[in-house]
Amino acid sequence: MRILHVESNEDGTVGGSHRGLVDLVTSLDRTRFVPVVLFLQNNRHVDPLRDAGVEVHCWDDVRAQERQLRANGGLRKYFDFFGAIVRRASLIRLLRIDLVHLNNSLQTGYDDWLPAARLTRVPCITFAMGDAVIDSKLARFAGRRFDHVIAISTYMHDAVRAAGVREDRISLAHLGVDAPSLRSSVHTSRSGKRAELGVSESEVAIVMVGNIRSWKGQHVLVEALALLPPDVLATLQVRFVGAESAVDHDYRRSLDARIAAIGAGDRIRFLGGRNDVPELFAASDIAVHASVIPEPFGLVVPEAMVHGLPVIASRFGGPGEVLTPACGRTFDPARPEELAAHLSELVGNATLRRSLGDESRRHVEAFSVRAMVDRIQQTYDKVLSRA
């Protein structure tokens, strides 16, 4: 059965939804399912997926044309609304798709991919990966018309159910990590990578991975650092890892200004988007996750745990389902003082960091790619048999 996986992000960044898609399509049972991937925007995962034998399409040109038509306004934008549905239906027929799997949320694709699937009599399912607040009446109405919704956390499961989706049309499949693959991708020694990052062996390296945008909460960590005693701050090196889109430039400038104001410019660096995140985790001592809006899952949390890092993360949303007190700490992102207290506790206690890190390695095995894929394949079987 040919499954069309549609990733709708097109803001120039690559995040957890891309990673989850890659892990899924490269792990499907190819004797039963043939993955076909459509990215609305070209990205660094395209070539590796093609090298792995996955059929991949990119719609940069199509989306540019669609945006132009809608920008023209007037009646043309309404004609293009129907044109978008026809284009998607034509692609479904052309690629001989048996099931459409949208990779983002109930609020993405309900107005084009879902009606296109209905036109072609192909079932359409979606991940619940995005914002849990579904305030659009149209999105709530259309969301109940998906053949199935796969929630990536209990937090998202509850949000989908609150939006009115029937319980028998929802399943839970936590995102997973391929621990052996992540560990084997570390080719640089810990000391070598720390030297590259400008971190000495006597300093405590804190890493925060996530695209630079306000809701990801980089400012929460900066404010927590401002609350640390000077002697504690002097032992730290902090690295922010993540790309920034054009709309986030003002936020980045505000971070730079605040860092300068607290006199921490020699302690903090922004590394931009990186392809060596596993090596960065392996070279660090503590991972921080501080999203101010609850994360649907927060894939970087188990990814950090794979490398034996204690994680300090928001207690809300998906991270609170992954972490236990034995492998990390949770806090309220609205209270940077809580994060500062956890940092002070871990920075000054290497033995505690090792203990939490050892438990992280053990506990993360419960969040494997294999478990995720098995649950999703069961959903495919259920939906296709019903169709």
Give the integer Cα–Cα distance in Å for 280 and 239.
9
Give the pLDDT band (50/70/90) at residue 77: low
Q: Helix H segments across 1-119?
A: 16-25, 46-51, 60-71, 74-94, 113-119
pLDDT digit string, tens, across residues 228-240: 999 999 999 999 9
Q: Cα separations (Å) of 17 from 105, 176, 201?
A: 10, 12, 34
Q: Is 81 helix (H, G, I), strand (E, B) or coil?
A: helix
CA-nearest of 8, 13, 9, 2 to 241 is 13
Q: Determine the average pLDDT of the residues in 101-112.
A: 92
pLDDT exceeds 80 at position 185: yes
Pairing state of beta strands 311-314 and 124-128? unpaired
Number of C-beta neighbours around residue 376 at 10 A = 22
| Cβ-contact 95, 87 below 8 angstroms | no
Residue whose entry in the numeric block shows the structure tokens 């236990």: 324
| Cβ-contact 139, 105 below 8 angstroms | no
Cα angle for residues 122, 123, 129 (degrees, 5° grid): 135
Q: Determine the average pLDDT of the residues in 179-207.
A: 96
Query: Which region among 69-73, 125-129, 337-341 has the lowest average model confidence (pLDDT)?
Result: 69-73
Phi/psi at 240 (5° precision): -95, 125
pLDDT for res 22: 96
pLDDT exceeds 90 at position 143: no
For residue 29, what is the DSSP state? -
pLDDT for res 69: 79
Distance of CA 317 to the CA centre of its chain: 13
Residue whose entry in the numeric block shows the structure tokens 């499954």: 3
Q: Cα separations (Å) of 73 from 69, 79, 122, 199?
A: 7, 10, 31, 53
pLDDT digit string, tens, across residues 281-330: 999 999 999 999 999 999 999 999 999 999 999 999 999 999 999 999 99
pLDDT exceeds 80 at position 208: yes
Burial class (CB in 10 A: 0-12, 13-18, 19+), 187: exposed
CA-nearest of 282, 303, 301, 296 to 22 is 303
Q: Is 207 helix (H, G, I), strand (E, B) or coil?
A: strand
pLDDT for res 307: 97
Give the pLDDT band (50/70/90) at residue 140: confident
pLDDT for res 73: 66
pLDDT exceeds 80 at position 71: no
Q: Determine the average pLDDT of the residues in 106-119.
A: 94
Q: Determine the average pLDDT of the residues in 357-385.
A: 97
Percent with pLDDT over 70 in the chain: 97
pLDDT digit string, tens, across residues 252-288: 999 999 999 999 999 999 999 999 999 999 999 999 9
pLDDT exceeds 90 at position 70: no
CA-nearest of 244, 252, 238 to 206 is 238
pLDDT exceeds 80 at position 135: no
Which stretches does DSSP call E strand in 291-354? 311-314, 328-331
Give the integer Cα–Cα distance in Å for 291 and 282.
22
Q: Cα separations (Å) of 144 from 92, 107, 114, 127, 169?
A: 22, 11, 11, 13, 9
Residue 121 neighbours by CB under 8 Å, 6+ apart: none
pLDDT digit string, tens, across residues 357-369: 999 999 999 999 9
pLDDT for res 139: 77
Q: Is 126 helix (H, G, I), strand (E, B) or coil?
A: strand
Percent with pLDDT over 90 in the chain: 87
